[in-house]
Amino acid sequence: MPHLEPSVSPSSTKPSRPRQHYYRTVIILAVCGLLSYGGYSMFHLYQNAKISQIKAQKLSAQALALSASLSEETAMNQDLNQALAAKKKSLIALNQRINDMETVLGIEPPADNQTITQRVDTAAINSAVRATLFQLIPNGAPTPNVQLTSGFGTRVHPITKKRKRHDGLDFAAKIGTPVYAPADAVIERARSSNYGYGNQLTLNHTMGFISTYSHLSKFKVKQGEFVKKGQLIGWTGNSGLSTGPHLHYEIRFLGKPLNPRPFVKWNIENFDALFKQEKNVQWASLLNTINSMVAMQVQLTGDENHDLGITTASHTEPSPN
């Protein structure tokens, strides 16, 4: 008996055309959606990358600026460190110089709380005190580089042959040798004479000191004239009672003759020696007076509120006599 194929209807083997169109539309929309989402995502990533790049550029610029600033500050710090090292070196040198000055001036070691400014003020005042004393009180030889032939004290007079007190020093100076003022003074007397001390000058210094110059040939100054230390006042000679050309030099304090030799030898290197050798002057009182004068001048020229806190020039106690 013959085999019969089952019959199939067309609608059961092929989907309908509307359904195919629907699937196709869904697929197209899905693809478009994916493409749109992908494009948006890529655009968003691009924007973020762009912003990140801009931020990175800004950070890089800031980093460069900070690096340059750091380099500049490092250079400045190096310069400051070098300047500080130089200042420290200068301070050490200054301290050493002040120490040397204090040693030369005989200033006692400074207190721990004393500043450099106070130490400098102290040294300045001591230096000024010494300069003032050397300016006002006779010191050095009135005829430099001339031999001393007769000293201070009792001797046999070369003419009368009798023992007599010699109240000065004799310098064997040739006629016409210049004579200079050993300190500031006023010419108290310029006396011309052919007897005794011959032509004689009397200089009135400060603080009670007087000096005289005898047997001169002529005067350079006149009575009442003010002269400065080192100023030419006359020339040596052989006038009056004299065995030969020389200068007779005397120093008196309140009218009392002093040995001029310590005054002739007095200088900055042996500043305290005169105070120890010459006991007829109340050096402590004199130095206190000069110290006060100089300290006031320093204070007036400096800060009026500045406390000096100083210890000034050393001095000896006054003689009980």
Eight-class DSSP state of 112: T
**Cα separation of 48 and 51, whole Å?**
5
In-domain check, residue 290: no
**For residue 17, which of 29, 28, 25 has the smallest C-alpha distance?**
25
HSE-CB at 160 with a 13 A cutoff on CA atoms is 10
Q: At 257, which CATH number?
A: 2.70.70.10
What pLDDT is recorded for position 86?
Answer: 87
* 175 vs 315, more confident: 175
Q: Which amino acid is at 214?
A: S
Structure tokens at 186: 């006023």
**Residue 104: partners with Cβ closer than 8 Å, 6 or more residues away:** 268
In-domain check, residue 235: yes
Say yes or no to pLDDT of 238 above 70: yes
Residue pair 216/173 in contact (Cβ under 8 Å)? The answer is: no
Q: What is the mean pLDDT of residues 256-270?
A: 93
Structure tokens at 250: 């005397």
In-domain check, residue 164: yes
In-domain check, residue 51: no
Overall number of domains in the chain: 2
**For residue 247, which of 181, 155, 148 has the smallest C-alpha distance?**
148
Say yes or no to pLDDT of 310 above 70: no
Structure tokens at 109: 């070691």
In-domain check, residue 169: yes
Check whether residue 182 and residue 238 sit in a common domain: yes
Structure tokens at 5: 């194929």
Say yes or no to pLDDT of 87 above 80: yes
In-domain check, residue 115: no
Check whether residue 164 and residue 251 sit in a common domain: yes
In-domain check, residue 33: no
Mean pLDDT of the chain: 81
In-domain check, residue 185: yes
**Cα separation of 33 and 239, whole Å?**
140
Q: Which residues pair with 154 in a beta bridge?
A: 165
When mean pLDDT is compared over 11-25, 115-129, 170-184, 294-308, the highest value belongs to 170-184
Check whether residue 260 and residue 169 sit in a common domain: yes
Say yes or no to pLDDT of 227 above 90: yes
**Cα separation of 187 and 282, whole Å?**
25
Domain housing 64: 59-104
Check whether residue 153 and residue 259 sit in a common domain: yes
Query: Which of 114-135 are b and which e, b meaning 16 or more Cβ less than 10 Å from the residue's Cβ?
Result: eeeebbebbbbbbbbbbebbbe
**For residue 308, which of 294, 320, 318, 319 has the smallest C-alpha distance?**
294
Check whether residue 175 and residue 65 sit in a common domain: no
pLDDT in tens, 128-170: 888 899 999 999 999 999 998 888 777 665 555 666 787 899 9
- Lowest pLDDT segment from 71-80, 173-182, 187-196, 208-217: 71-80
Say yes or no to pLDDT of 251 above 90: yes
**Residue 141: partners with Cβ closer than 8 Å, 6 or more residues away:** 171, 182, 264
What pLDDT is recorded for position 230?
Answer: 96
Q: CA of 37: how far to CAs of 41, 43, 45, in Å?
A: 6, 10, 12
**Cα separation of 321 and 316, whole Å?**
14
